[in-house]
A = this chain, B = another copy of it.
Amino acid sequence: MAGKIGIGVDIGGTLTKLAAVTAQGQIIREVQILTRSTESASLFVRRVCSLLHLLESELDADVGGVGLGLAGDVDSERGVLRFAPSLGRWQNFNFRKAFSRRLKFPVVVDNDANLAVWGGYALELRRRPRHVVGITLGTGVGGGLILDGKLYRGATGSAGEVGHTKIETPGRLCRCGGRGCLEAYAGSYGIVATAKALLKSRGRGDSLLKRLCPHPSKLEPSVISEAARRGDPLAREIWRKTGAWLAAGLANLVMVLNPDVILICGGVSRAGRLLTEPIAERMRAEPFRTPFKRLSIRIAVRHNLGCVGAALFALDASQ
């Protein structure tokens, strides 16, 4: 087939997703496997490499590179996973070395949020704005910075950890062990915590959300969105609060980085205007106007940006 393709591998705590992607960002094949992070990292590498070889021969494609996105703090120069609560056993493993030994194409390794934001930058924003703050809303909250059109990594490759900036003092306990982190309010577990607290404060009162989801342990952002779209005041209140917390974290980033665009990616972003409206409202109230005036807040419409971004980043790096 014409043109090189990239293969993106998005390695999360539960699932690992692979996608073969053209340079234009079109997905030509997708597949997912269980991550099984309790097994050894070498075994995982062997499983993924078999799949990569299979994809390559099946597609009869010219693979330009493989990009690996890891849910954790990554030393992208060396290709090592340094810190990852959800991939604990694999810490300090050199993924680039292990994959490169088994593959004949170049391998790049980075934080999963960095690569998802790179994907959103390339496809949703067509690489036009110069400065973009990307935020990924899933179980956790990650981020990636595109400054002057390039992925910015910082001194140790840890830049863009938006989810662990503090928005409340002392605030809720975060998975990282800190208090008041944005993630503890805007990650899906934070949103569920807000929902439970509000439901509890309402006591025995009726609510559509309660009817849609009678078991609080089953609460998740998609149900809360559904209830809000059907007009439930309690569900709307949850999104209003979540949006205001997100706005607090994002306003700090705007003050510091003065981006052209904030790009919101990840599953929770499907809440759409339920989320962006309280953010925009809060930002309109900022007295220091200049950095907010030209700012545009965008929600990424594509799913699977983690894989796609990893594939595109690998293709970009191989050129």
Contact = CB atoms under 8 A, between A and B. Distances in A.
Nearest to A258: B154
A253 to B, nearest CB: 6
Interface size class of A (residues with CB under 8 A): 35 or more
Interface in A10-25: none
Q: Oligomeric state, in number of copies?
A: 2
A165 to B, nearest CB: 4
Interface stretch (A47-55, A156-164, A208-216): A156-164
Interface string A163-206: 01111110000001110000000000000000000000000000
Contacts of A61: none
Contacts of A165: 252, 255-256
A82 interface: yes
Contacts of A289: 83
B159 A257 contact: yes
A213 to B, nearest CB: 29
Contacts of A153: 258
Interface stretch (A118-126, A224-232, A290-298): A290-298
A154 B148 CA distance: 9
B154 A259 contact: yes
A113 to B, nearest CB: 12
Given A83-B289, A288-B178, A289-B83, A255 B294 contact: no
Nearest to A168: B169
Contacts of A156: 258, 290-291, 293-294
Nearest to A289: B83
A196 B289 CA distance: 31
B131 A178 contact: no
A21 B10 CA distance: 53
Given A162-B256, A169-B167, A255-B162, A155 B288 contact: no
Given A82-B290, A166-B167, 14 more contacts: A83-B289, A155-B294, A156-B291, A156-B293, A158-B258, A159-B258, A159-B291, A161-B256, A166-B248, A166-B251, A169-B169, A176-B288, A178-B288, A253-B256
